Amino acid sequence: MLADRLRRYRDRDLRDDLVAGFIVAILLIPQSLAYALLAGLPPQIGVYASLLPMLAYAALGSSSVNSVGPVAVVALMTAQAVQPLLTQGVAAHDAALVLAAETGLLLAAAALFKLDALAALLSTPVLHGFSTGAALVISLSQLPALLGSDARGFTAPEVLQSWWQAGRAGHLLTAAIGGTALALLVLARRHARALLARWLAARHATLAARCAPLAVIALAIAVAWALDAGGRGVALVGALPPFAVPLGWPPLRQELWLALLPSAVPLALVTFVSSLAVSEGLALRRREQVDARRELAGLAGANVAAAFAAAMPVGGSFSRGAVNAEAGARTRAAGAWTAGFMALAMLLLAAPLALLPKAVLAASIVLAVLGVVEWRAFAEAWRYARSEFVVMVVVALLTLLVSSQWALAVGVALSVGLLLQRSANPHVARIGRVGDTEHYRNVDRHAVQCVPGVLALRIDESLLFTNARRLAGVVAQHLAALPDTRRVVLLMSPVNRIDFSAYEALRAVHDLLAERGIRLDLSEVKGPVMDALRAGRWEDWFRGRVYLSHHQGMVAGD
């Protein structure tokens, strides 16, 4: 059976996966070096993070095109988690290995206990605000390297303070190389595809344009060699160690694991949510399905592999995933081929990459992260819901000024607070009949007919402990305006669930109305809600009627 599967793979998928793996490897070479430097780690760590973690995801994940490896946001969060420990004598790489292990173990636990629903904790406003703030702080943190300054930092205050204390704004030759590289990368992004389309088919032109950063890097290496840039003060990547994957255990010091655990929790959450968004977005284009639990398992395996392969925390990348899809990847094996091509590239290209100016890597990071900022989302949130806009702005500012951990914690807290506020104020509408139809709508929005002596209310929320106490008050408010009411009919079709608190609140409303000689009826009660009411033996106290349709309840006599 295995031989048959391998034969089918060779005949149907191997060629496409090989092509996709080669193209993604070309894109991943500069990214792996750049994101390792962004995390404050040696550049070869990014290479290690592009090898065994990709193989682990290929074995355990579910997306055929998601490309797991170093990504900008994960690198930023790694840097912010590691930096405070450096003053305590902890090596940055040791901390990154522990962080990768903890992230992988947390994701594995989430997969084991089927906690993929935790992705809902990061709402869209929180994600937009975080990604925008992260893009800005990453860009700001790369400006010193782009211009040749010694400033460092991973928040805006840190970078600006370090820049002020550095004593010099930059280095002329470094700034010239970095600025030129950034300009060429921008021009390539905007015009390379159209230019190449003159000689290549549209699909091939698109793929070739995606590889333009490698041409810029090759040009930068040539210029640095010709000008002896390293001897003239330009910071270079430097000699890479002989290629190998140094397998070993991450540090097992208890105090280090405890110190990094608070950072590992938001990192695991962001890694899963962002990677799942990548997988689902690409699967939608290809009319495929992804399994959230298997995505958790794949990311867990990738990060655990990173911890044992001298790497750093990893996640899914939309840019590499999109390239993988456009290059025609057919299976997850394309990721394994990418890892193989990366290993081959490091064997052959280590010497020239040592001459690459770090300013060029900084330029590639700036262009990559600013390309994902969606300013339009802020304008749309302002028009749609001011509270959501406030959440986005607060999260973006905290990411820029404080840290990603605080930004995410506050963002989740604000989102939960908004949810509780909305659910605690259920929308209950008085409804009437539209013309001669059997449709009933809000009396404040439509011209409707109301039955004298019958108060019809539609509950537009599930009844839970957060809003149950308000039910009696809402009904009493409507009764005050209609003192001749003989019956109250609650349209229950929008109610998907009723918990015990709401069960007791419904009983209180029933008894209150009964004391005033008013009967409480229900209409269009969903099956699960009716099951819950029966489980509470509501027939012992409920004296009203339940109607299959609301119209039946309205035309029924007393």
CATH number assigned to the domain comprising residue 522 = 3.30.750.24
Answer with the one of 387, 418, 449 that is the final residue of a domain: 418
Same domain, 312 and 239: yes
Q: Are residues 167 and 228 in the same domain?
A: yes
Whole-angstrom Cα distance, residue 381 to residue 268?
Answer: 27
Check whether residue 402 and residue 546 sit in a common domain: no
**Count of CB atoms situated within 10 Å of the CB of 531:** 11
The pLDDT, as a whole number, for residue 1 is 66
Amino acid at 430: R
Residue 436 lies in a domain: yes
pLDDT score of 79 more than 80: yes
Structure tokens at 237: 């990547």
Q: Is residue 286 part of a domain?
A: yes
Same domain, 403 and 446: no
474 and 408 within one domain: no
User: 490 and 523 in contact (C-beta within 8 Å)?
Assistant: yes
Nearest of 68, 45, 73 to residue 339 by alpha carbon = 68
Question: What gap in Å lies between CA 72 and CA 130, rounded to an integer?
Answer: 12
Same domain, 160 and 99: yes
Q: Which comes out higher in pLDDT, residue 373 or 136?
A: 136
- Compute the distance between CA of residue 178 and CA of residue 493 in angstroms, rounded to an integer: 62
Q: What are phi and psi for residue 41, nearest 5 degrees?
A: -115, 160
Does the pLDDT at position 210 exceed 80? Answer: no
Q: Tell which residue, 209, 124, 184, has the closest CA to residue 395.
A: 124
Residues 313 and 331 in one domain: yes
Which two structure tokens, joined as six digits, stand for 15? 């060629």
Q: Residue type at 504?
A: E
558 against 506, higher pLDDT: 506
Q: How many CB atoms lie within 10 A of CB 486?
A: 14
Report pLDDT for 558.
62
The most confident of 270-279, 319-328, 364-373, by mean pLDDT: 270-279
Domain termination residue (choose one: 360, 387, 418): 418
Domain-terminating residue out of 397, 418, 439: 418
Quick check: 35 pLDDT over 70? yes
CA distances 307 to 53, 300, 357, 405, Å, are 9, 11, 28, 21
pLDDT in tens, 130-161: 989 998 999 999 999 999 998 888 889 999 89
Q: Which residues span the domain enclosing 271?
A: 10-245+256-418
Tell me which of 38-42, 162-166, 207-211, 448-452 is least confident. Answer: 207-211
Distances (CA, A) of 453 to 477, 479, 520: 16, 10, 12
What confidence tens digit (pLDDT) does each residue in 339-370 have?
999 999 888 888 899 999 999 999 998 988 88
Q: How far apart are CA 522 and CA 524, in angstroms?
A: 7
Tell me whether residue 464 is in a domain.
Answer: yes
pLDDT at 12 over 90: no
Burial of 535 (0-12, 13-18, 19+ CB in 10 A): exposed
pLDDT at 192 over 90: no
Predicted pLDDT at 227: 94
413 and 437 share one domain: no
**Helix (H) and strand (E) counts in the chain:** 23, 8
Q: Domain check: are 438 and 368 in the same one?
A: no
Q: Give the ranges where 87-123 is alpha helix by DSSP (H).
A: 92-112
Query: Which residue in 82, 76, 405 sits closest to 256, CA to CA?
Result: 82
Q: How far is residue 67 from each of residues 57, 62, 318, measured CA to CA in Å? A: 9, 11, 8
Mean pLDDT of all residues in 197-222? 85
Cα distance between residue 455 and residue 487, in whole Å: 6
Spatial separation of the C-alpha atoms in residues 491 and 551, rounded to whole Å:
10
pLDDT-based confidence at residue 480 (cuts at 50, 70, 90): very high
Q: Within 13 Å and on the Cβ side, how many CA atoms surround 524?
A: 20
Q: Quick check: is 5 in a domain?
A: no
CB contact at 8 A, 54 and 67: yes
Q: At what angle do helices 172-196 and 358-370 cross, to 10 degrees?
A: 50
Q: Could you tell me which residues come within 8 angstroms of residue 4 by beta carbon, excluding any fewer than 6 positions away? A: none
- CA of residue 306 relative to chain centroid, distance: 20
CA angle 172/178/179 to nearest 5° reads: 85
537: in domain: yes
- Identify whether 67 is part of a domain: yes
Inside any domain, residue 1: no
Q: What is the pLDDT of residue 27?
A: 80
Q: Alpha helix (H) ranges present in 287-357? A: 292-308, 318-326, 333-353
Residue 40 has pLDDT above 70, yes or no: yes
* Same domain membership, residue 396 and residue 329: yes
Residue in the block written with tokens 């809003």: 467
The model's pTM is 0.84
- Could you tell me which residue, 418 or 372, shows the higher pLDDT? 418
Degrees (nearest 5) of the Cα angle 152, 154, 158? 65
Residues 6+ positions from 9 with CB-CB distance below 8 Å: 331, 333
Does 4 map to a domain?
no
Closest CA to 355 of 241, 182, 235: 235
Per-residue b/e over 489-500, b at no fewer than 16 CB within 10 Å? bbbbeebeebee
Give how many domains the chain has, as a whole number.
2
Are 37 and 106 in a shared domain?
A: yes
Looking at the fold, whether 322 and 432 belong to one and the same domain comes out as: no
